[in-house]
Chains A and B, each alone.
Chain A
């Protein structure tokens, strides 16, 4: 009897492990076609120019790495809602450094704190300009003096590429995509990404870039197993 109970327990444990199994979605997004050259930000004011003594920064529309891996592509699972753990998650950090927002593209969960720092020796204003205002994402505009305390923002609704800007320096932008779940990633400078801990199952994965493929998302149906899943896609510069 005891043996049967132990065996049952072991089987149940095994099944629960099987049910809770998860994998990672990894892959590379590449750029095809020829992207226009990035342009130097020549209108930078003298104080910001001092922070770039050697070379002025450029726009960051098409940032590609080795083998045309495309950075700043947002990769996410479609059709998942109500799974946000944003309230308990670590803040996403944006930094204003050398009169540029870093990172240029990132992502967060709904309700997750987005912390904006000012690492510059000059003032900025932090101005999130959401599009999905009807769902509760609010525009704001706050001063941030040099070495001032970080400013925190949260957004309750999903939105792709929610704009953060500085109007004092009107070339400074950052784009935060907000999801109602934690299954997303942004490609690095080589175009690679990794979405960790995706429960096993069938999904539609979407990739979207602000400019490539005319800003339209590309989707692919995948199945995530214990071994994870691989998504390699290309986006065209049109």
Chain B
């Protein structure tokens, strides 16, 4: 993702604020899943028949409190993302395309309070198509910031509708997609915040004079992709609503790898005494859980190694990158610890939710470091290219005012 033509500290701050709100939204969503209260408000887009913004506070009881709060915070994040997108388009575009985007944003905001589920589904389909188009433009353009912002806005619409459909269609699979898009959306907002800030401008200046090894760039990309895969595994585990498939650590049902024959599965299920009475576990849940542990082991080794290499390569040139790398090590250690505690304490909602949140932040740091490393590699290439005279190709995109 390239930078905006002029950096804007306030735009960047607003983007960070939106990202922070998104992290809170993910936390509350994590609590909803951890507490098993996602279906406590059976209707959507209404809440117990009310316009969701008018649902009486006196009725925010039990699981409703978490689910309804999640919906309201989601609406605020949607509104903030709309403002952020509009502001970025105001700065970076003009003419009919900007007017079109404004119209799209206004149309989406006008949907708040609409009670028809079909209308929201239609809007989500439109947002999905617009998002795919914007994503394609973002890949093609040299200055793609506004297109990424539009992708973020489309993502928040699709994400909101998926959350609603998770409730009304009663499908766990939608919950997995909902949980995964949430992480990607957070990453996108953080990148928007990063690229609109002064730090990014300074980084680009430094990057033009320094190079980092290509192997480090690949390592960071691989580690980040593995973190995302780990989050996918985690979301799949959580949204099965089958509770802890393996309740002990470091062994698993007393062995290195648990037996999954029918008799063993029956015994595991009969020994579960959780008052939340989750669904019976199946062999699939055991394999999923063990894959999550194996991946954790890989990441606990890979992230510190990659972080130390970042510190060596960039620590003196870009101190913030070194600090971020150190924080990355801390995050993976804390995250692994939270995973162990989650197992040993039978997955209490607060610990399990913290595990989700730290996982999301770990992914964000991985993406930021990967993007920074990519910028260094590009900068090296540019330095070489700039030393050669190059004619401007006819029809090449011109910078916009």
Q: A residues touching B (Cβ–Cβ < 8 Å)? A: 36, 38-39, 41, 43, 45, 47-48, 59, 61, 122-123, 125, 127, 129, 139, 141-143, 163, 165, 167-171, 173, 210-216, 238
Which of A36, A139, A167, A216 contacts B38, CB < 8 Å? A167
**Contact B270 A211, beta carbon cutoff 8 Å:** yes
Cα distance A45–B62 in the bound complex, in angstroms: 6
- Which residues on B sit within 8 Å (CB–CB) of A163? 277
**Pairwise interchain contact A170-B266, C-beta atoms closer than 8 A:** no
**A168 x B37 contact (CB < 8 A):** yes
Count how many pairs of residues, one from A and one from B, have CB atoms less than 8 Å apart in the complex. Answer: 79
Give min CB distance, B174 to chain A, whole Å.
Answer: 14
Q: B139 contacts which chain A residues (CB < 8 A)?
A: none
Having A36-B271, A141-B42, one finds 19 other A-B pairs with CB under 8 Å, namely A39-B275, A43-B275, A45-B62, A47-B61, A48-B62, A61-B273, A143-B42, A143-B43, A167-B40, A167-B63, A169-B62, A171-B277, A211-B270, A214-B267, A214-B270, A215-B266, A215-B269, A238-B267, A238-B271
Given A215-B266, A238-B270: A168 in contact with B276 (beta carbons within 8 A): no
Query: Nearest chain-A residue to B65 (Cβ)?
Result: A45
Q: Which 8 A-B pairs have the closest CB atoms?
A: A167-B40, A214-B266, A167-B39, A168-B62, A141-B42, A214-B270, A170-B36, A168-B40
Contacts A/B (CB < 8 Å), 9 sampled: A48-B62, A143-B43, A167-B38, A167-B39, A168-B40, A170-B36, A211-B270, A212-B270, A238-B267
Binding site for A on B (CB under 8 A): 35-43, 48-49, 59, 61-64, 167, 170, 263, 266-267, 269-271, 273, 275-277, 279
How far, in Å, is A168 (CB) from chain B's closest CB? 4
In the assembled complex, which residues on chain A have CB atoms less than 8 Å from the CB atom of B266?
Answer: 214-216
Q: How far is the CB of B272 from chain A (nearest CB, A)?
A: 8
CB distance from A207 to the nearest CB of B (A): 15
Please state if A125 and B42 are interface contacts (CB–CB under 8 Å).
yes
* Least CB separation from B272: chain A residue: A211
Find the A residue at minimum CB distance from B49: A143
A171 in contact with B275 (CB, 8 Å): yes
Contacts of B276 on A, CB cut-off 8 Å? 170-171
